[in-house]
Structure 1
Amino acid sequence: MSPKLDPLPPSESQGSGGALGYLRDGGLWGIWLGLSPLILFLQAPPRIPIYLYGSVDTRLETEGSKFTTALLILLGLVPAIVTILSKRMRPAQALPIATLAMLVLAVITLSLFGSASTGEVAKPLLAMFVFFLAIVLVSAEVDSEIFIRNLLIGYAAMHAGAAVIALIDGNFVWGRFMGRLGPNFWGAIAAYGLLAASVARQKSLFIAIAAVDIAVLLLAQNRSSMLAAVAGGLLIIFLAYHWATLTGKLWMWLAGMAGGVVMLFSMPVLLSQVLRIDDPRRGLDSGGTGRAMAWEQAIDVFEQNPLFGVGYRHHEQYITAASSAHQAYLATAADMGILGLLLYL
């Protein structure tokens, strides 16, 4: 029989010290991690139909956007300093992640050898800084449950807030939510935020964040993010079932059967209107909206540079069928070769 965990008292479950305590106990980290969508959205121009760009790459990455990204990363110094000043630090705890960080950093650096751009030096430097932040986070002596809960809630709330602002902005193309940064970006943001919000103990907070994220997933029509959210949700349900009481498990079975019946009858609508498998531009016969060709090109890039790849975040320069490989494993292999792929796995 699985051990039953006693719930924390309300004061302990939320941390101590009110708003300042929340920020100190993980909340500030969550706000920092969730800040990027809002900042990137505010500086991005509205999306327009792809044929008006004159090229496949619609990301419009500029020196300004690169600077903003670097600045956002450097802002992580704020929660790091707060953690160092307010928590007892145990650096020995971070030895495993420090070792992994050195390996990843070495692979990124090797992949960038031979790059003609001096600006590429910033990538391993920023990676080194991110690893420093991770080491600070892991080294801190904290109540893990409270800290992680506060971090995830802050992260999810910031994402939902950014999504609301983007929805109000109203950047849609052909009925699909673009939000200036693209449907794939917002689909991923919504999926991450939805799963992170599941730790919220206040039902009203979870419902509010979930409503925004589900709306974004549907409006962005990002199928991979929808499937990722479903897979993550099923994992969370499995874990909840494992710890549930007998009565709770019974209710979960009943809810699951009811959900299965609803899913069965709504399957035609889900396939046609949500997953859009019969859409001539995005359906099964569309070649993955050009992604099948992009995957082939990414494989070719990897085969020509199997050991170190063509450089971290450089494979996009070799893809002509889409803005990128649109597949994380292929992109990693093309960027950093077999060594980077092994670390990613």
Structure 2
Amino acid sequence: MNEKWTEQNIPDQQGRVAVVTGANTGLGFETARALAEHGARVVLAVRDVEKGKQAAARMSGDVTVQALDLTSLESVRDAAAELHTKHASIDLLINNAGVMIPPKQTTRDGFELQLGTNHLGHFALTGLLLDLLLPVPGSRVVTVSSIAHRTGGAAIHFDDLQWDRSYDRSAAYAQSKLANLLFTYELQRRLAPQGTTVSVAAHPGLASTELVRDIPAALRLIAPVIGALVSQSAAGGALPSLRAATDPAVLGGQYYGPDGRGELRGNPHVVASSPQSYDRALQQRLWSVSEDLTGVKFPVTQPELVERTR
């Protein structure tokens, strides 16, 4: 039987700096709150600064707010530059913010909103902040995915990555969440030779958060009933991210989620992702495309490329 890992298991976070995206509500709020309560200096990286300040006021500890709009690469670059001026190093980067199944929209840079926010924005932010994490032993990048990455239509549609020809909001969400995992695993491969920073993924199961605001109206009517039966609170949904971020036993490349049936709720533990998420060629292809789309190059090199040049 799996042990019950709760917020009480979080080690002392004194002296650590944690940046949490989308931290003004839901999973991000609960993640940031718990880290702050355990002594971390927490940065709420949020699109709406006023809402971020309101969230910070409801937390105890050292909590600050950083403007970050993941739908704008200009905003991502500005936020990264500001964080460099405010912090000599970062211990935890938690890529939590996301949007789920909205009507067709694009980011300021022309990316489909879910791919642009959930994956490309975080890809760029991580690349621009990685130099603040690499010198810190035990630093971590935690990227939040979803059980939706396993759905039947989940795939990286390289032939129509931005859904210009047609748009399926659920499939586009699944694509973005699969991208989160492909990114996590490829990043870990590149970080491994450094020996300081690890890349880990997590998913909340089915948690009651504001992400459901964009689901179709008919589903919104029955969502509370379904939620009462199979979902967990935002605080419960944040536990996999918190364990991935703080448990000393965590290894790079692991994926944390609830241990209950269907991984919908339960205690956080190591879970497996879909077979295609482990496809190395797919990981590398998405990485290359993401570099091209964002213009962000990481300060870590693919190990195989290094070996070929020797």
Q: TM-score, normalised by structure 2?
A: 0.29
| Larger helix share, 1 or 2 | 1
Q: TM-score, normalised by structure 1?
A: 0.27
| Larger strand share, 1 or 2 | 2
**Structure whose CA Rg is larger:** 1
